[in-house]
Amino acid sequence: MTKRQKRMAAVAALLLGLGLSAYFVLSAARKNMMYFYTPTDLVEHRVSEDARLRLGGLVTVGSLKRGEGLNVEFTLADCEKSLPVRYQGILPDLFREGQGIVATGRMQQGTFVADEVLAKHDENYMPPELAKSLKSADGKHNCAPFKSMQQAAR
Amino acid sequence: MIPELGHFALIAALLVAVLQLLLPAWGVYRRDRRLMATAASAAQTQFLLILTSYLCLTWAFVSRDWSLAYVAANSHSDLPLAYRISAVWGAHEGSMLLWVLMLSAWGAAVSVFNRRLPPDLAATTLAVLGAVGIGFLLFILLTSNPFTVNFPVPDNGRDLNPLLQDPGLVIHPPMLYMGYVGFSVAFAFALAALISGRLDAAWARWTRPWTTTAWLFLTGGITLGSWWAYHELGWGGWWFWDPVENASFMPWLVGTALIHSLAVTEKRGQLKAWTVLLAILAFALSLLGTFLVRSGVLVSVHAFATDPARGIFILSFLAAVLGIAFVLYAWRAPRFVSEGELALFSREGLLLLNNVFLVTAAAAVLLGTLYPLLAEAFNLGKVSVGPPYFNMVFLPLTAPLAVLIGFASSVGWKRARVAEVFRRARLPLLAALIGGALLPLLLGHRLLIPAVAGGVLALWMLLTSVQELWRRVRARREAWAGLTQIPRAVWGMSLAHAGLGVWVLGVTFVSLYSIEQDVRLGPGQTAELAGYAFRFDGIVPRPGPNYDADHAQVQIEHEGRPVASLQPEKRLYRATRQVMTEAAVDHTPLRDLYVALGEPIDKNNAGGDWALRLYYKPMMRLVWWGGVLMALGGLIAVSDRRYRLARVASTQPLSSQVPA
């Protein structure tokens, strides 16, 4: 091979490598993306039971029930709708009724079955996507679940 | 009075930073040596002023001065002294002050250690560091001033976030910042090379120890952060692919690539433009990391309170720095001509491959980190990219690196002899294959193909590193003479590569063979996990200095013999009313046993059943020991004699090897 051919081969190999890795990266990203939903989204629209998704909302005050072993049930609410959630395992330190949380899991016959529950470490901090979805029509955080949260804080 | 002094010193530091940019730049333009020389004293003055400011803020914390808003928000009268000192960097404002302190310290260090640099190169480098300093000092003074006064003065502070009240966090941020900020030196050198149009072996030799130093701090900082998260977050995880973790990992990947491409630039005079580009990118990614952490645009456990003004400032700063750097690069980089041809099967060829993989991996991490932001911007919905994505792209991109590392020392510069390379690879390859297959069985685990693959790669890296040292010892008649004759650069490289091997071994085993279980236990009850019996002996209340703890007793037995007695705690911090989990770990090099308290099943009855999280994690320690070995390797490499010789040898002015 001449120098020029060698260089062309190197460039072609590099492009092929880059193309392949770009393909891997994008397909991996597509497969592992999780969309964020609010209780209203899930109550009003049917979602495939195969899709793993994230659900954010406020834990309704008085809704936490413990079952056998480490099973817990509670409802998550936004400003309009609420949705029952089932979870087995240890709840995070900041999990409290009235607290905003993000749960990851799947829908199963109208119930959200969570395999992971996250509450933020700073109790004043709320994930921006959750805060945004919890705004009521006038843009303020003052709908019913928030009122219960303020009462719970007292 | 003291806080005012601190504030004043910070403003003075900004003025000095402006001088540090303008005077030497004017000096370089006019070729006036006296003006160029002002850069060094400006850098040192700037450091002393910021140090003063930093000490004033520390004093405010130590003396519980609630008249400062920042102190009142992040401290409390009951907070122990050590945490009052570390609380200075416990939140945004103070950690930015720590950041500029480190930046000015790097600048002062350059001015002290590189006195023998050609004056124009030294002056340009320090002027660039001055410009970066201006950006960050303005950021602090305009958007995040830690000396803002509180009125009326509260009776007490609101306490430091309990998560941060841990010894790991006392050292983790300063180390990480040293690394982050340290890449500014490589960046400044790169810009100086672009501005002067000169880039030769001597330039690479000056840049290398600074880059390696920054890298070793970053390695140490990331390792400490992982160790801290494991102990303090109570989830038993050591890496979460959290945006902020990624923010420190991307500069690490690019910095690692930079260390290797600098070697090629120094030894072979090739990859010059590429090296400069990497130096710019490493620093750009450090800045991007700061932006991601500070602006709160991404959801993260580390995210500080959001403030759009801060985000916009850093984003504009990032744009300005990158814009200038890339314009300079596009204009000047074509001047850097490589010396000779690059053969693929040579050390420089393999190092180029290493760079391709490292940079692609960094790009994949960048994409995964920014994807949610991009999706939101293009109205594709609110998306998050989870750890499976990162694992899926990261493994195939880094496994080839592990293979390459085994050839690090047997493949020579210029053109390697294939037969010789394979002759040397035979023994370690065979040993790695057998060892990798046996290891899971020896430790009593099921045989999994990924475990064997990981084990083989890890042993391959470890054995080839040891083989290189052994070969050099054997080359001398006396073993001791051989051992002491090995250059530190070789020690450093071997140690760092062996460290990566240890790390891969740890990661493979802990990811594949960990067992995790959440259990509900009453006092006296036992749970079985991986052949270990965990007996829960109930809870006793135990008050700490600023918290009240539920202190649990857990006895662990293995085949009837007691192994360990662990005391995990659940702490309620009094000032913030925050609950924290304090996990307890028993560890040997081969396994960790980890117990974290969940919650009492009945909130009002702490004497009843509790939820407990139990983990069995094989080879967990190796993950951190691997990181420590890598950082240690960097430290030894930096102390190599030839960098000191290089400083002496560089007294005569540089002859330009590049047609200007």
Q: Do A63 and A93 reside in the same domain of the chain?
A: yes
Q: What average pLDDT score do residues A144-151 get? A: 54
One domain for residues A112 and A140: yes
Residue with token string 């994409």: B367
> Which residue, chain included where needed, has tokens 């645009």?
B297
Q: Are residues A102 and A117 in the same domain?
A: yes
Q: Which residue has the higher pLDDT, A123 or B264?
A: B264
Q: Which residues does chain B have within 8 Å of residue A57's beta carbon, measured at their own beta carbons?
A: none
Query: C-alpha distances in angstroms, B377 versus B319, B340, B372?
Result: 18, 46, 9
Residues of B in contact with A32 (CB under 8 A): 385-386, 388-389, 392
Q: What is the 3-state secondary structure (H, E, C) of B460-525?
A: HHHHHHHHHHHHHHHCCCCHHHHHHHCCHHHHHHHHHHHHHHHHHHHHHHHHHHCEEEEEEECCCC
In tens, the pLDDT along B173-193 reads 889 999 999 999 999 999 999
Query: Measured between alpha carbons, how far is B537 from B497 in angstroms, rounded to an integer?
Result: 44
pLDDT of residue B652: 42
CATH of the domain at A128: 2.40.50.140
Q: Say whether both A56 and A116 belong to one domain.
A: yes
Residue A149 domain boundaries = 36-153
- Measure B389 CA to nearest chain A CA, in Å: 5
pLDDT at A56: 86
Q: Which residue has the higher pLDDT, B49 or B290?
A: B49
Question: Does one domain contain both A95 and A137?
Answer: yes
If pLDDT is split at 50, 70 and 90, which confidence band does B1 have? Answer: confident
Are residues A69 and A105 both part of a single domain?
yes
- List of residues 6+ apart from B361 with CB closer than 8 A: B253, B393, B394, B397, B398
For residues A9 and A65, membership in a common domain is answered with no
Comparing B564 with A28, the larger pLDDT belongs to B564
Q: Number of structural domains, chain A? A: 2
pLDDT above 80 (res A122): no
Instruction: Name every residue in A having a CB less than 8 A away from some CB of B.
Output: 3, 10, 14, 17-18, 21, 24-25, 28-29, 31-36, 54, 66, 69-70, 88-91, 93-94, 120-125, 127-129
Amino acid identity for residue B547 in this structure: Y
A103 and A137 share a domain? yes
Computed over every residue of chain A, the mean pLDDT equals: 78
Q: In a mutagenesis test of the B interface, which of A15, A32, A68 is the best target, namely the one with the most B β-carbons within 10 Å?
A: A32
Tokens of B110: 């350059």
- Is A141 known to sit in a ligand binding site? no
- pTM, 2 dp: 0.90
The C-alpha R_g of chain A, in whole angstroms, comes to 22
Are residues A148 and A105 both part of a single domain? yes
Domain range summary for chain B, segments of one domain joined by + = 1-160, 162-405, 414-514+622-627, 516-621
Q: Same structural domain for residues A50 and A9?
A: no
Is it the case that residue B3 has pLDDT exceeding 50?
Answer: yes
Helices and strands, counts by H and E, chain B: 19, 11
A69 and A88 both lie in a single domain: yes
Residue A25 to chain B, least CA–CA distance (Å):
6
Residue B653: predicted pLDDT: 42
CB atoms B385 and A33 under 8 Å: yes
Q: How many whole angstroms separate alpha carbon B325 and alpha carbon A153?
A: 51
pLDDT tens readout for residues B426-469: 999 999 999 999 999 998 899 999 999 999 999 999 999 999 89
Residue A45 among known ligand-binding residues: no
| Residue A20 and residue A68 share a domain | no
Mutation target vs B (from A26, A38, A70, A99; most B CBs, 10 A cutoff)? A70
At residue B658 the predicted structure's pLDDT band, cuts being 50, 70 and 90, is: very low
